[in-house]
Every structure is written in structure tokens, then in C-alpha cells.
């Protein structure tokens, strides 16, 4: 067993010491952070400088609009619409809102001119302002007291609490988390599986395999590589975890103005406020210990399941590496299909497809990780989770056994092209 | 005493019999040449002796005990014909890794690595990566990593391929040193002049069968064809050479190659030359080279196989 430890050590160190390891490990979270921060910063910047020129032909709206933070309205009376439409940018406006003469019963013909695509927030602000002015005018016409209406208007918030019969709880948080963890799993399995395969191919093509096999059993060589690369993956997760924690501690410092702004904007929109509240509530509700534990389990289980098969395919390689492309198809296909099921499972985590795909080991690492954020044991009963884990453990034991038998023959087979059909015969050949 | 005894070893593949009932013994401290054309089953045979393959049937005894691939690997050093090293790994680290896999502890391994690096004058490239080295240098690295754990049985498959004459000589000298210190060596090659120079004992295999085995001297004796070469001071005329004791195979400048006829002796040849008053400058027996034995025997078995 000392030997397998030596092999694990070499596989681990030879990868971790490479400069590319450091680059990839640091670049991935930076890319993630950039994906979150840059849009937020950009959104913040564009909001703070949105000035809308308004030409009100009806005269009904003048001075009635509320400036919200980041969006300012300027009513213009001394310019013609056509010239303003052409020159608004020169005067420092982001766009022009044209309000025609309207019929209070059927208001229509509001137009907004801008070279840039109007943001959703801006659209909301403009329509909200228009609607509230029209509502107020209609109340006046119909003799309704606005103060009374305000008193009547209800403003309740629902508290979301844990409950067993929360069946279709595809809330935003579990949706996002399910997607993120499922697709992280997808990339990890493909990435690390191919890494194992390339390592095995290198050993075979370099002919080091024969030297190695005269010192260690083929199975030790294969498992050493698989475990060594798994350790690289776990180290990467650990670094990302630490970076994530550091980042989340540092983030409020950088994000505070934007965060305030988005909270403010959400405040002007009850639906958004509700969503934000629900989202943060759901994030808090997720059992993080269970989630992280399951993620690591399904990463390791799925990785062992697939990477041993990738190792077997790698052992079939020859000097001509192009053959290997088509031989990996039986392995990449189930992973890709799983990612399609994953999309369905996130939307409907209790559908039969999602349930069964989260139990079959070919797809369970992706699909189960998509379902778990929706709630355990609410959406995913304990028996399903347990069954899925047991099947995955059985799955990787079987796949490692099969792979070991293909590998030990393939790794020393030189010269001729090996077909998958021939390789399957090795599985059941006598030792 | 025999270090290795191989008894009725068989390894069959679906399409052919790679090794079909081969038996032989190798004496402790000897250099054993394994010869055979491509595809004769040499590599399969060696892979069974190194524990890479399990034989279908037959026994391998190492030091009189059953060969156990798990525990006896340390006793064996194997340098395959197709060399292989991790290309991106520094030289010293690579040898250390392979030595540790053979069960050497780090300290002993490092001491021996320093010793060999000094001996082969490779100290300057200890930290270079393997793919920065020339083929010949890689070969030396491979050789050191094969013998670093001081195996009792050293198996070398074409150890000189790709080496220049100087390095080739260096390795050859090392092989003799190891042999003198009691290491038993199996040496597989196609180059017959090396076999005659290096090996005590050879075995010829073809198509999975053993064709012959014995000491180099004995085999050359066994396959001699009664040919002699005689040097003459003055070229005689044809009449002077007429006798029933021998027939002339070829005439060269001041020498003849003769085939001794049955019932005659070498002294009959000499007496004939003396009586004819032809001055003899030298007289020698022509023994077949291992190469000639190899070619004739391989062709013989091929013909047998073809007619069978």
C-alpha cells in the first residue's frame, strides 16, 4: 500500500507544482467574481447618470414624476420633439419620453426614444410613474378620495417558513444553487475525467507504463492516478472555499454603494423587494452542511465512477491519439445528457425523470445536486438520497472493477488499434 | 546453482501461442542471452518472468522458490526494449521515484543516485527534465533506474540501442561488473556480435518454442560443419590440391577454405600439404558464428512449419 501512496503523491505533486494549476485555481474564482461584480458595477454606474427628457403634450404629468435615485426626469417645454429626439444626447439626456395628448379612459401613445436599450429598471420607473399619475387623475374624475384609497391599500408580506408540504418550492435560491452546483459538477467531471485519461495515455505512449508495471500492479497504478487527481480537485475546492469566504468578507466593503442602490431600487418595486427577501431567506434556509457534504460526496462518487472509465479508455490509446476521440463518446454522452436532465430537474425537482435520474449513477452526481437545494427531506426524501448514494457507491465499485480489467490489458497492448468491442471482451476474460 | 528455473511455461493468446512450453535454467551470476526473431515470444516470456503477465501454466522458480510477483519484484530489474520515462520529471526525482517503488527507502536511494551520477558523470543534469536530454542520456538514466535497487536478476531488453560506442562500452563494462558481483543477467537482443562477446549461455526461441539452448562455446561446436582455413606461402597449382581428404570451398589470397571429408582427420589435411611441399603459414578451424546458427535454425523451423 506504500506504493500506491507514492503514486498518489507523484500524481498530486506533479500537477500542483505546475504553474498552470495556480493560474487555473486563481482565475476561476476571479472569473466568477468578475461575472457577479462587473454587471453590478456597470448597472450602478448607468443608473446614477440616467436623465430623461420628458415632453408632455397633455400637460397632465408635468411635475408629477418622482425622481428615484439614479433616474431624473426633466420636463421640457421650449423644444420641439423632433429636434429633441435628434439632439437629446448633446444636452446630456439618456433618452426622450414623449407623452401625447391622451384620453384618460384609454391612455396610449407613450413613446420613449433612446439609442441605447432601456434597462428593465428604467422601464419600471417610467411605467410606474405614468400609471400612478393616471390612477390619481382617474380617482379625481370619479370623486374617489386618495387618502381613503391609501388607507385601504393592503401591504402584507408573507413569511416563508419550512414546511413538509412545500411541494413546488422552486424558489429562486434553490434554482440558482441547483444550477450552479449541477453545472460545476458537470465541468468538474468532464475536466478531471479527461485529465485522468490524458495521464494514462501519456504513460502508455511514453512507454513508462511497462517500467511501472514491473514494479506495481496495474490496478495500483490506475488507482494511484485517479486518487492523486482527486486530491488535486479537493485542494482546488478548498482553495476556492477559502477564497469565497475571504471574498464574502471583503465584498461588503467594495459593494456597499451598489448594494444600497439596488436595495433602494428594489424598494420602489414591491415584487422585486419580495423576490430579494425570498431569495435571501431561502439562502439562509438551505442546510449548508448537508449541501457541502453532499456536493463533496457526489463529486468524489461521480469522479470515481467516470474517471476509472476514462482511465480504461486512455489505456486503449495508441500513438495515433485521434482514435481516442470517438472512444470517449460513450462517456461524454451520458454526462451531456445528464446536464440536459439537470435543467429539467432544477425546474421540477419532483418529476419522475428527475427522481430516477438522481438515482442512476450515470446522472446522479449532476441531477441530485440540482435537486438537493430544493430541500431535504421536503423535496428529496431521505430514502431517495440514501438510495442514490448507495447506488453511486456500488456504481463506482463496479466501474473501477471493469476499468481495472480493461486497463491492465490495454496499457501493455501496443501496435494495433483496439476496438471497444475487443476491450469489452477483456472484462470477462480470465486473469 | 540456478537462480531462475523456468518449467513448461505457456501463454496463449486468442489468435496464437506466444509462449508454448518453454523450460530453461539460468545459473547464478551468469549472463544469459535470449535470442529470437521479432514476434518469437521473447517479450511475452520476459513479461512473465518480471511478473507483468501471469503464465497460463508452468512454473517460475526464483532461488528455488515459487516466484511471487508481489514480493519478488524487488529482486528483479527490468529495462524494456521500448524505453519509458516521465518526460516532464527531473532526472534525479524520476530515479528516486522508481527506486522507491521498488521498495528502497529515500535515504539509501539518494546515496546510490549520487554514486551513479558521479560514476556516469551526470551530476550537472540531475535537475534537468527528461525531455531536455539526448536519447543516449535518457538511456543512461533508464539504466540507472533499472539497477538502482541492486536486483538479483537483471533483465535487459536491447540495452545498447541508441547508444554511441563510448556509452555503449560504459554500459557493457557495468554489465560485466554487475555479473562479477553475482548479479544474474538476462540479455535480450538481435545483435549477435554482442551475444558472443557478452553472454555465457544462450537460448534461441522462435514461434513460442525453444529451438536450442546451451553455452555459446558448446553451440558453436555443435553446429560446426568441418570447415578449416589454411594459409599458404606460395599458391599451389590445381594438381597439387587434388585429394580425397577434403574439398575446396573457396580460394582466397594465400589461403583456402576447406571442408574435411568424413573419415579423414585434420592431420590428413596437414600431411597432404606437407607432402606436396606447400609452405603452410597457419591452420584453423572455422566455427559458425552465433549469427549463422541463428539464421540457419530460424530458417529450419520456418521451413518445418511451412511443410507441416
By Cβ distance, the residue of B54, B76, B84 closest to A206 is B84
Residue A337 grid cell = 445528457
Residue B168 grid cell = 555503449
Q: What is the CATH number of domain B225-286?
A: 3.30.70
Amino acid A175: pLDDT: 79
Tell me the pLDDT of chain A averaged across its residues: 81
Domain locations in chain B? 2-221, 225-286
Amino acid A119: pLDDT: 75
pTM: 0.74
Is B76 in CB contact (< 8 Å) with chain A?
Answer: yes
Are B47 and A3 inside 8 Å of each other by CB? no
Do the beta carbons of residue A356 and residue A336 sit within 8 Å? no
By Cβ distance, the residue of B84, B102, B145 closest to A207 is B84
Q: How far is CA B252 from CA A235, A261, B235, B273, in A?
A: 78, 108, 10, 16
Spell out which residues of chain A touch residue B79, defining contact as CB-CB under 8 Å.
Answer: 211
pLDDT of A417 strictly over 90: no
Higher pLDDT, A335 or A415: A335
Q: Which of A3, A210, A219, A225 to mutate against chain B (most B CBs within 10 Å)?
A: A210
- Residue pLDDT, tens place only, A217-233: 889 999 999 999 999 99
Chain B nearest-CA distance from A185, in A, is 29
Higher pLDDT, B129 or A173: B129
By Cβ distance, the residue of B52, B89, B142 closest to A14 is B89
**β-sheet bridge partners, residue B202:** B33, B214
Do the beta carbons of residue A416 and residue A395 sit within 8 Å? no
- Which residue in A77, A79, A52, A55 sits closest to A66, CA to CA? A52
Tell me the pLDDT of chain B averaged across its residues: 88
Of the candidate ranges A130-139, A243-252, B230-239, the one whose mean pLDDT is the lowest: A243-252
pLDDT of A349 strictly over 50: yes
Amino acid B137: pLDDT: 86
Spell out which residues of chain B touch residue A431, defining contact as CB-CB under 8 Å.
Answer: 54
CB atoms near residue A188 (< 10 Å)? 18
By Cβ distance, the residue of A211, A215, A431 closest to B84 is A211
Amino acid A275: pLDDT: 56
Q: Tell me the mean pLDDT in the region A29-34.
A: 74
Q: Tell me the mean pLDDT in the region B136-165.
A: 89
Amino acid A302: pLDDT: 94
Report the percent of chain A where pLDDT is more than 70: 82
- pLDDT tier at A45, thresholds 50, 70, 90: low
Structural domains of chain A, with CATH:
51-145 (3.40.190.10), 170-427 (no CATH)
Spell out which residues of chain B touch residue A215, defining contact as CB-CB under 8 Å.
Answer: 73, 98, 101-102
**β-sheet bridge partners, residue B259:** B227, B247
- Residue pLDDT, tens place only, A69-100: 677 888 888 888 888 888 888 888 888 888 88
- Tell me the residues of A at the B interface, defined by beta carbons under 8 Å apart: 3, 6-7, 10, 14, 202-203, 206-217, 412, 414, 431
| CA R_g for chain B | 24
- Which residue in A406, A389, A208 sits closest to A314, CA to CA? A406
Amino acid B178: pLDDT: 92
Do the beta carbons of residue B202 and residue B290 sit within 8 Å? yes
Are B52 and A213 inside 8 Å of each other by CB? yes
Report the percent of chain A where pLDDT is more than 90: 23
Amino acid A430: pLDDT: 60
pLDDT of A127 strictly over 90: no
Q: Which of A211, A225, A407 to mutate against chain B (most B CBs within 10 Å)?
A: A211
Spell out which residues of chain B touch residue A7, defining contact as CB-CB under 8 Å.
Answer: 101
Are B52 and A412 inside 8 Å of each other by CB? yes
Spell out which residues of chain B touch residue A208, defining contact as CB-CB under 8 Å.
Answer: 84-86
- Residue pLDDT, tens place only, B4-25: 899 998 888 877 888 888 999 9
- Which residue in A317, A324, A310 sits closest to A413, CA to CA? A317
Q: Which fold has domain B2-221?
A: Rossmann fold (3.40.50)
By Cβ distance, the residue of A6, A207, A214 closest to B52 is A214
Q: Tell me the mean pLDDT in the region A313-336.
A: 83
A62 secondary structure, DSSP code: T
Q: How far apart are CA A336 and CA A315, in angstroms?
A: 23
Are B85 and A10 inside 8 Å of each other by CB? no
- Residue pLDDT, tens place only, B63-93: 888 888 777 878 899 998 877 888 888 999 9
Q: Tell me the mean pLDDT in the region B140-156.
A: 91
- pLDDT tier at A235, thresholds 50, 70, 90: very high
Amino acid B166: pLDDT: 87
Q: Tell me the mean pLDDT in the region B274-298.
A: 89
By Cβ distance, the residue of B51, B78, B83 closest to A207 is B83
Q: Which of 80-119 (B) contact A at CB < 8 A?
A: 80, 82-89, 97-98, 100-102
pLDDT of A260 strictly over 60: no
ipTM of the complex as predicted: 0.80
A277 secondary structure, DSSP code: H
Residue A371 grid cell = 435537486
Higher pLDDT, A101 or A394: A394
A301, exposed or middle or buried, with CB in 10 Å at 0-12, 13-18, 19+? buried
Amino acid B306: pLDDT: 74
Amino acid A167: pLDDT: 39
Residue B139 grid cell = 538511456
Report the percent of chain B where pLDDT is more than 90: 27
- pLDDT tier at A168, thresholds 50, 70, 90: very low
Q: Tell me the mean pLDDT in the region B229-253.
A: 87
Amino acid A170: pLDDT: 42
Residue of A nearest to B83 (CA): A207
pLDDT of B103 strictly over 90: no
Of the candidate ranges A168-182, B121-135, B201-215, B230-244, the one whose mean pLDDT is the lowest: A168-182
Are B89 and A212 inside 8 Å of each other by CB? no
- pLDDT tier at A164, thresholds 50, 70, 90: very low
Amino acid at each position: 500500500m506504500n506504493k500506491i501512496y507514492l503514486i498518489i503523491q507523484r500524481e498530486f505533486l506533479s500537477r500542483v507544482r505546475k504553474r498552470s494549476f495556480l493560474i487555473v485555481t486563481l482565475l476561476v474564482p476571479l472569473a466568477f467574481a468578475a461575472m457577479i461584480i462587473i454587471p453590478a458595477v456597470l448597472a450602478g454606474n448607468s443608473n446614477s447618470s440616467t436623465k430623461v427628457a420628458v415632453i408632455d403634450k397633455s400637460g397632465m404629468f408635468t411635475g408629477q414624476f418622482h425622481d428615484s435615485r439614479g433616474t431624473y426626469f426633466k420636463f421640457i417645454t421650449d423644444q420641439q420633439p423632433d429636434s429633441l429626439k435628434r439632439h437629446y444626447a448633446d444636452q446630456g439626456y439618456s433618452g426622450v419620453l414623449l407623452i401625447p395628448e391622451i384620453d384618460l379612459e384609454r391612455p396610449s401613445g407613450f413613446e420613449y426614444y433612446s439609442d441605447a436599450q432601456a434597462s428593465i429598471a428604467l422601464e419600471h420607473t417610467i411605467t410606474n410613474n405614468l400609471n400612478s399619475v393616471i390612477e390619481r387623475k382617474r380617482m379625481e374624475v370619479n370623486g374617489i378620495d386618495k387618502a381613503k384609497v391609501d388607507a385601504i391599500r393592503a401591504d402584507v408580506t408573507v413569511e416563508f417558513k419550512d414546511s413538509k408540504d412545500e411541494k413546488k418550492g422552486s424558489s429562486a435560491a434553490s434554482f440558482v444553487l441547483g444550477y450552479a452546483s449541477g453545472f460545476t459538477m458537470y465541468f468538474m467531471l468532464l475536466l478531471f475525467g479527461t485529465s485522468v485519461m490524458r495521464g494514462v495515455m501519456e504513460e502508455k505512449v511514453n512507454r513508462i507504463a511497462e517500467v511501472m508495471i514491473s514494479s506495481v500492479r496495474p490496478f495500483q497504478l490506475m488507482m494511484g492516478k485517479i486518487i492523486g487527481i482527486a486530491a488535486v480537485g479537493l485542494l482546488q475546492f478548498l482553495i476556492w472555499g477559502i477564497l469565497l469566504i475571504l471574498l464574502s468578507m471583503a465584498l461588503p466593503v467594495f459593494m456597499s454603494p451598489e448594494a444600497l442602490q439596488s436595495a433602494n431600487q428594489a424598494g420602489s418595486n414591491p415584487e422585486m423587494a419580495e423576490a430579494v427577501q425570498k431569495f435571501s431567506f431561502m439562502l439562509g434556509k438551505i442546510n449548508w452542511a448537508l449541501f457541502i457534504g453532499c456536493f463533496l460526496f457526489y463529486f468524489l462518487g461521480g469522479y470515481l465512477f467516470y474517471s476509472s472509465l476514462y482511465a480504461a479508455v486512455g489505456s486503449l490509446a495508441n500513438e495515433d491519439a485521434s482514435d481516442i476521440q470517438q472512444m470517449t463518446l460513450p462517456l461524454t454522452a451520458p454526462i451531456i445528457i445528464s446536464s440536459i436532465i439537470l435543467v429539467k430537474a432544477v425546474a421540477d425537482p419532483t418529476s419522475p425523470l428527475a427522481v430516477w435520474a438522481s438515482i442512476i449513477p450515470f446522472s446522479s452526481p449532476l441531477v441530485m445536486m440540482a435537486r438537493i437545494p430544493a430541500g431535504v427531506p421536503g423535496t428529496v426524501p431521505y430514502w431517495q438520497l440514501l438510495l442514490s448514494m448507495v447506488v453511486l457507491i456500488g456504481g463506482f465499485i463496479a466501474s473501477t472493477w471493469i476499468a481495472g480489467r480493461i486497463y491492465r490489458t490495454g496499457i501493455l497492448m501496443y501496435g494495433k488499434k483496439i476496438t471497444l468491442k475487443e476491450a469489452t471482451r477483456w472484462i470477462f476474460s480470465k486473469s | 546453482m540456478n537462480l531462475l528455473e523456468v518449467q513448461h511455461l505457456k501463454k496463449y493468446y486468442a489468435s496464437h501461442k506466444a509462449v508454448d512450453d518453454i523450460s530453461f535454467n539460468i545459473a547464478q551470476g551468469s549472463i544469459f542471452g535470449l535470442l529470437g526473431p521479432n514476434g518469437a515470444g521473447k517479450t511475452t516470456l520476459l513479461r512473465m518472468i518480471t511478473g507483468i503477465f501471469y503464465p497460463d501454466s508452468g512454473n517460475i522458480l526464483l532461488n528455488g522458490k515459487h516466484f511471487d510477483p508481489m514480493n519478488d519484484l524487488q529482486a528483479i530489474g527490468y529495462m524494456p526494449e521500448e524505453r519509458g520515462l516521465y518526460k516532464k520529471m527531473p532526472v534525479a526525482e524520476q530515479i528516486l521515484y522508481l527506486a522507491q517503488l521498488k521498495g528502497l527507502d529515500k535515504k539509501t536511494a539518494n546515496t546510490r543516485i549520487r554514486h551513479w551520477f558521479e560514476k556516469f558523470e551526470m551530476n550537472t543534469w540531475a535537475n534537468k527534465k527528461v525531455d531536455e536530454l539526448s536519447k543516449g542520456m535518457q538511456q543512461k538514466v533508464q539504466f540507472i533506474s533499472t539497477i538502482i535497487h541492486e536486483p538479483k536478476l537483471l533483465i535487459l531488453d536491447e540495452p545498447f540501442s541508441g547508444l554511441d560506442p563510448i556509452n555503449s562500452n560504459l554500459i557493457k563494462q557495468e554489465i560485466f561488473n554487475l555479473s562479477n558481483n553475482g548479479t544474474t543477467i538476462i540479455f535480450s537482443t538481435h545483435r549477435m556480435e554482442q551475444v558472443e562477446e557478452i553472454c555465457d549461455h544462450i537460448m534461441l526461441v522462435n514461434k513460442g518454442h525453444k529451438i536450442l539452448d546451451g553455452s555459446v562455446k558448446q553451440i558453436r561446436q555443435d553446429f560446426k560443419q568441418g570447415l578449416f582455413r589454411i594459409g599458404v606461402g606460395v599458391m599451389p597449382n590445381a594438381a597439387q590440391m587434388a585429394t580425397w581428404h577434403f574439398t575446396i570451398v573457396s580460394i582466397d589470397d594465400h589461403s583456402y577454405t576447406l571442408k574435411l571429408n568424413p573419415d579423414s582427420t585434420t592431420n590428413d589435411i596437414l600431411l597432404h600439404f606437407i607432402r606436396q611441399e606447400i609452405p603452410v603459414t597457419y591452420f584453423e578451424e572455422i566455427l559458425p558464428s552465433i549469427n549463422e546458427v541463428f539464421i540457419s535454425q530460424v530458417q529450419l523451423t520456418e521451413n518445418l512449419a511451412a511443410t507441416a
